Amino acid sequence: MHPMRDQSLQAKTVLVTGSAQRIGAVLARALHAAGANLVLHYRNSGAAASELAASLNAARPASAVTVQADLLETARLDRLVETARQAFGGLDILLNNASSFYATPLGELTERAWEDIVGSNLKAPLFLARAAAAQLTAARGLVLNIVDIHGLRPLQHYCVYSVAKAGLIMLTKSLARELAPHVRVNAVAPGPVMWPEGVTAELKERIIARTPLERAGTPEDVARAVLFFATDAPYVTGQILAVDGGRSVGW
């Protein structure tokens, strides 16, 4: 990640949801390396979030804070934005990364699964954007959503997840109009980047075989796209950037 250390986000504040582990932690480190102050949201992974914050603060003192929240409790989302304001004076970028992801075969689908998956992937980003709108408008900031290529093409047995990500893609475009002209809203749609638990070697091989670049991506590939929107795209809004090795066109 060292090539990203250009300090182009110096004095900017970024709220990253689901930042304690996996892609969220990589995105947080990349944004921090570019100079940003971080508000690290977590739901259950308190120890991992604290460890990440400690490492970031060791590199640059007083540059990262943590905040715990269940994003399904929309009435409490204002607290995340207030944490950014109190710690760093405002908010420049909202990065909606948190996501519930698990199979929901139609015959086993429950209303609770619907509420969890749609809640984390679609409802929470909407209400967080609403909570952050005033701060982002003042900063002429950015909302950046992590979507999925399966919001464009459904993943078998993951009906609810695919629907939720499709909704987040449309939310990205809708918010780009609602929050214009002072706030940009874009999304990154990863493909095979970090394999979820339970994916067999056979399935991995099959997915890679259908990917034009014939390899899986890395979290750093997603981070580069995030940094592009955050630092080098002042005239880009309402756009979805696939970071998928061409899988969305090759399939």
| Enzyme catalytic residues | 161
How many Å apart are CA 196 and CA 160, to the nearest integer? 17
Whole-angstrom distance, CA of residue 87 vs CA of residue 26: 22
Long-range contacts of 117-122 (CB under 8 A, 24+ apart): 117/160, 117/161, 117/164, 118/160, 118/163, 118/164, 118/167, 119/71, 119/72, 120/71, 120/72, 120/164, 121/161, 121/164, 121/165, 121/167, 121/168, 122/164, 122/165, 122/167, 122/168, 122/171
